[in-house]
Amino acid sequence: MIKADTKVHSLYGSPVAHSLSPVIFNTTFQQLSLNRAYLPFEVSRDNLKQAVEAARTLGFDGFNVTMPHKTGIVEMMDRLDKTAEKIGAVNTVTTTKSGLVGYNTDGEGAIGALRSYGFEPHNKRILVLGAGGAAQALVNRLSSENNNIRILNRILDKARQVADKATGTGRISYGELDKSSLEKGMEDVDLLVNATPIRTSTLISQFKIPADKVKDIGWVFDLAYDQPDKPLSVGSGTISPLEMLVHQAALSYEIWLSETAPFDLMRSSLVDYIGKDWR
Ligand SMILES: NC(=O)c1ccc[n+]([C@@H]2O[C@H](COP(=O)([O-])OP(=O)(O)OC[C@H]3O[C@@H](n4cnc5c(N)ncnc54)[C@H](OP(=O)(O)O)[C@@H]3O)[C@@H](O)[C@H]2O)c1
């Protein structure tokens, strides 16, 4: 039950109506009898600054931001942790006595998801589609595992920036997202990470990629979960974006509550809500 002293967490994004984070957090808080609530708010780019100030004024006990705010919020933070500063994107904010501190749990959440499927992201060939906040977090984390990464994006300059900001030892190249670069980029990759809001199968049909070019992809990892894709009948398999969602939510929980997250409970909250396990 929400009471006068309930600690409030929030999610700012646009759109947020599809978000499953409130399910994960509110079910977990209830199951553990924690006096906390997690509320999603539709916040446009123009209103982000006011929303951040509202979180400060109303004393929210930490909040998440999602598309399209992960980079825009950086300058509104009083402090950034090392990872968020390196990649210039924030998805988790905590409130401290000295102000708002921005973190980014996307990269680590993605690694957790990959490993839970038995995929060890080390010394692999990886194709990343998109160059937004999520791609930046993933490329940075994956580059620290000596992977060979190619980034393709509609706006070439953004792909270059993602490559330039990554600090790991991996080899990174980039190019414009078009039919020929996608076709070539998919050749013999161990993992395709799709960090655009468009499903991989839709991109493949939009660019008219022949089926035989898709068959050598190892794993496919679509990050967007608002329009679940049917597994492409190629490669070793499909990593569910929901697995990453739970992993990065567990990391937010740990930042806010300073204790180990009840990962199994958070995961089963979502599995129960959806009605089936995705793995
Ligand atoms: N599962 C999870 O836990 C999780 C975590 C984080 C993010 N996500 C999902 O990952 C996706 C990306 O998030 P983000 O924060 O990185 O978003 P973002 O910063 O807005 O970046 C979006 C990227 O997608 C590209 N894009 C957009 N529309 C496209 C289209 N029609 N065709 C090709 N490329 C297109 C953009 O290209 P341009 O630069 O050319 O505009 C940009 O590179 C979202 O769907 C988000 O919900 C999921």
Distance CA 88, CA 71 (A): 6
CB atoms within 10 A of CB 208: 8
Mutate to test the pocket of ligand 1, among 136, 165, 182, 223 (most ligand atoms within 8 A of CB): 223
Measured from the CB, is residue 279 less than 6 Å from ligand 1?
Answer: no
What tokens does 246 get?
Answer: 């739970």
- Residue 70 among the catalytic residues: yes
From 3, 7, 49, 70, active-site residue: 70
Question: In which residue are the tokens 């929210």 written?
Answer: 60
Task: Say what the pTM is.
Answer: 0.94
What pLDDT tens digit does each residue of the chain (279 aa) get? Answer: 899 999 999 999 999 999 999 999 999 999 999 999 999 999 999 999 999 999 999 999 999 999 899 999 999 999 999 999 999 999 999 999 999 999 999 999 999 999 999 999 999 999 999 999 899 999 999 999 999 999 999 999 999 999 999 989 999 999 999 999 999 999 989 999 999 999 898 999 999 998 888 887 899 999 988 766 565 555 568 999 999 999 999 999 999 999 999 999 999 999 999 999 998
Torsion of CA 66, 219, 161, 68, to 10 degrees: -10
- To test the ligand 1 pocket, which listed residue (11, 196, 207, 220) has its Cβ within 8 A of the most ligand atoms? 196
Q: Distance, CA 126 to ligand 1 centroid (Å)?
A: 17
233 CA → ligand 1 middle, Å: 23
Q: Element (H or E) spanning 148, and its range? A: strand 148-153
